[in-house]
């Protein structure tokens, strides 16, 4: 439930929390923990996205457009699997996390991005949007920029999810927040919208491989759905600044976890 | 719970939604119209996508609850220790015998299918809007998804 709550809040799958919780606290086999976690990602994503899309916080066009990069990235990652050592990947991943955490901290006071130029590509793709902010109590119009760097980050995010079997919601949020200059709420809601699709592709494989144990996945999926429902209610009322500050410790935590994994091999 | 949330979000109306949209001037201090003349139809699409996700989640949750309930009530999974259904044919065979694990697996499979279904239904939604660019984008995403399912099956 906690995983669903945090996941829906921050646009992540919640796998970061589920895997260590199941393996360390409940002593579940790593293989089944990952299988359950991929189900969790889909549950969080679909549950949260249903609410965010209805409340018009999700930018559907940005999501659909970027999914082109995440899905091809995931497919590329699946092909590359085994060609690189996981230790190297995890080290790169950790370094990128630390860098992103710093980028986010620098922007910690920015409630809404301002003076974002309307690029021709973003115009053509109709990526600009608006949403009603319940914390600010007004309609927020925003422009989208950095379409190409955004797409590149999503491709990398896709490769990582294909290689390491993670939802990589972290990268998706970062790409939209840092490069495309979307409001933080729009970034997390749109990330939630997208991770379900990335995860569904890998979930089919895990399912066929027999990594999804019904006895473990069933209670976890139900708990996460409840958590995600609660999370969406809180997120819409939070300020963008608060949301970003909640994000940073999770980034740092993941970076440390990855670094430790890379070090230990 | 559902009722309460709807009331809260109903406190504001989308300025471009509803019949009043044509006479409403843009809110003060807002940037010039973004060239999205079809915003009124996007409204419908959001409801459509949101509903398809919601139903997917509700149906799969209901099936998982039934299966989990069966598991707790009977105390048997319907399969030998450490064995559970991994393919659609296993699931269907198990369902006929009302095996608890098969029912849960069906619910989990429905959950996995929900985002895929969402992409598929978006193709129709964009087509109804006459947005060819996004029909193309969505078809591409759907094709890559199908390809990854196919390759996953073949490789795994």
Number of domains in chain A: 1
Structure letter (DSSP) for residue B22: G
Structure tokens at A10: 């921050």
Chain A: residue nearest B15 by CA? A139
Chain A: residue nearest B137 by CA? A65
When mean pLDDT is compared over A70-84, A102-116, A144-158, A223-237, the highest value belongs to A144-158
Chain segment B67-78, per-residue pLDDT in tens? 888 888 887 777
Give the distance from residue A43's alpha carbon to the nearest chain B alpha carbon, in angstroms: 7
Q: What is the pLDDT of residue A14?
A: 60
Asked if residue A5 has pLDDT above 70, the reply is no
Q: How far apart are CA A4 and CA A222, in angstroms?
A: 10
Query: Of the candidates A91, A17, A38, which has an alpha carbon nearest to the alpha carbon of residue A256?
Result: A91
Q: Is the Cβ pair A221, B105 closer than 8 Å?
A: no
Chain B: residue nearest A217 by CA? B108
Chain segment B66-113, per-residue pLDDT in tens? 988 888 888 777 777 667 777 777 788 888 778 888 888 899 889 988
Chain B: residue nearest A129 by CA? B34
Asked if residue A13 has pLDDT above 60, the reply is no
Per DSSP, the residues of B98-136 read T-HHHHHHHHHHHHHHHHHHHHHHHHHHHHHHT-HHHHH
Structure letter (DSSP) for residue A177: I
Asked if residue A55 has pLDDT above 80, the reply is yes
Q: CA A178, A179, A181 angle in degrees (round to 5)?
A: 70
Residue that wins the pLDDT comparison between A92 and A194:
A194
* % of chain B residues with pLDDT over 70: 68
Give the distance from residue A256's alpha carbon to the nearest chain B alpha carbon, in angstroms: 30
Give the distance from residue B132's alpha carbon to the nearest chain A alpha carbon, in angstroms: 11
Q: Select the residue from A46, A127, A154, A228 to test the B interface by mutation, using most B Cβ atoms within 10 A.
A: A46
Q: Select the residue from A1, A134, A214 to test the B interface by mutation, using most B Cβ atoms within 10 A.
A: A214
Q: What is the pLDDT of residue A183?
A: 87
Residue that wins the pLDDT comparison between A12 and B56:
B56
Give the distance from residue B55's alpha carbon to the nearest chain A alpha carbon, in angstroms: 9
B115 shares contact with chain A (CB less than 8 Å): yes
Q: Is the Cβ pair B108, A207 closer than 8 Å?
A: yes
A234 shares contact with chain B (CB less than 8 Å): no
Q: Is the Cβ pair A209, B86 closer than 8 Å?
A: yes
Q: How far apart are CA A216 and CA A231, in angstroms?
A: 23
Confidence grade of residue B2 (pLDDT, cut at 50, 70, 90): very low
Q: Is the Cβ pair A67, B153 closer than 8 Å?
A: no
Sign of the alpha-carbon torsion through A14, A15, A17, A18? positive
Chain segment A169-208, per-residue pLDDT in tens? 777 888 888 888 888 888 888 988 888 888 887 777 778 7
Q: What is the pLDDT of residue A103?
A: 73
Q: Is the Cβ pair A54, B57 closer than 8 Å?
A: no
CA distances from A206 to A34, A210, B86, B102 (A): 9, 6, 9, 16
CB-CB: which of B27, B49, B108 is closest to A139? B27
Residue that wins the pLDDT comparison between A242 and B71:
B71
Q: Is the Cβ pair B50, A50 closer than 8 Å?
A: yes
Per DSSP, the residues of B63-106 read HHHHHHHHHHHH---SS-TT----SHHHHHHHHHTT-HHHHHHH
CA distances from A135 to A93, A105, A235, A243 (A): 33, 21, 9, 11
Structure tokens at A18: 């589920």
Asked if residue B45 has pLDDT above 80, the reply is no
Q: Across residues B27-44, what is the average pLDDT?
A: 46
Task: Give A-chain residues touching B61 at CB under 8 angstroms.
Answer: 221-222, 225
What interface predicted TM-score (ipTM) does this complex get? 0.78
Q: What is the pLDDT of residue A10?
A: 61
What is the distance of C-alpha B80 from the center of its chain? 33
Q: Is the Cβ pair B57, A43 closer than 8 Å?
A: yes
Its domain, for residue A231, covers 2-264
Q: What is the pLDDT of residue B142?
A: 92
CB-CB: which of A61, A204, A208 is closest to B134? A61
């Amino acid at each position: 439930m906690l995983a669903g709550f945090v996941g829906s809040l921050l646009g992540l799958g919640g796998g970061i929390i589920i895997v260590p919780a199941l393996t360390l606290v409940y002593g579940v086999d790593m293989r089944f923990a990952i299988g359950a976690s991929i189900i969790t990602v889909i549950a969080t994503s679909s549950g949260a996205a249903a609410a965010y899309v209805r409340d018009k916080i999700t930018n559907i066009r940005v999501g659909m457009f970027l999914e082109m990069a995440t899905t091809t990235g995931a497919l590329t990652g699946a092909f590359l699997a085994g060609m690189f050592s996981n230790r190297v990947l995890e080290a790169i991943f950790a370094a990128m996390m630390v860098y992103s955490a710093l980028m986010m901290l620098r922007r910690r006071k920015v409630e809404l991005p301002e003076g974002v130029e309307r690029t021709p590509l973003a115009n053509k793709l109709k990526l600009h949007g608006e949403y009603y902010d319940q914390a600010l109590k007004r309609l927020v119009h925003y422009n989208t920029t950095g379409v190409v760097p955004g797409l590149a980050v999503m491709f990398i995010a896709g490769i990582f999810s294909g290689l390491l079997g993670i939802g990589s919601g972290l990268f998706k949020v970062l790409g939209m927040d840092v490069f495309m200059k979307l409001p933080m709420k729009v970034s997390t809601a749109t990330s939630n919208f997208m991770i379900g699709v990335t995860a569904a592709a890998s979930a089919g494989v895990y399912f066929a491989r027999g990594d999804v144990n019904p006895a473990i996945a069933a209670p976890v999926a139900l708990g996460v759905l409840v958590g995600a429902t609660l999370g969406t209610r809180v997120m819409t009322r939070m300020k963008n600044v608060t949301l970003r500050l909640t994000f940073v410790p999770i980034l740092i935590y993941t970076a440390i976890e990855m670094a430790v994994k890379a070090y230990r091999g | 719970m559902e009722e309460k949330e709807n009331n809260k979000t109903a406190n504001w109306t989308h300025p471009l939604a509803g019949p009043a949209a044509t006479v409403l001037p843009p809110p003060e201090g807002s940037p010039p119209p973004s060239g999205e003349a079809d915003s009124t139809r996007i409204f419908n699409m959001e409801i459509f996508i949101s509903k398809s996700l919601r139903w997917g989640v509700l149906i799969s949750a209901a099936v998982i609850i039934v299966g989990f309930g069966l598991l707790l009530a009977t105390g048997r999974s319907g399969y030998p220790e450490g064995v559970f259904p991994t393919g659609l044919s296993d699931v269907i065979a198990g369902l006929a015998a009302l095996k608890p694990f098969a029912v849960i697996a069906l619910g989990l499979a429905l959950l996995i299918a929900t985002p895929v279904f969402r992409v598929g239904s978006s193709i129709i939604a964009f087509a109804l809007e006459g947005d060819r660019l996004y029909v193309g984008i969505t078809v591409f995403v759907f094709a890559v998804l199908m390809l990854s399912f196919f390759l996953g099956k073949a490789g795994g």
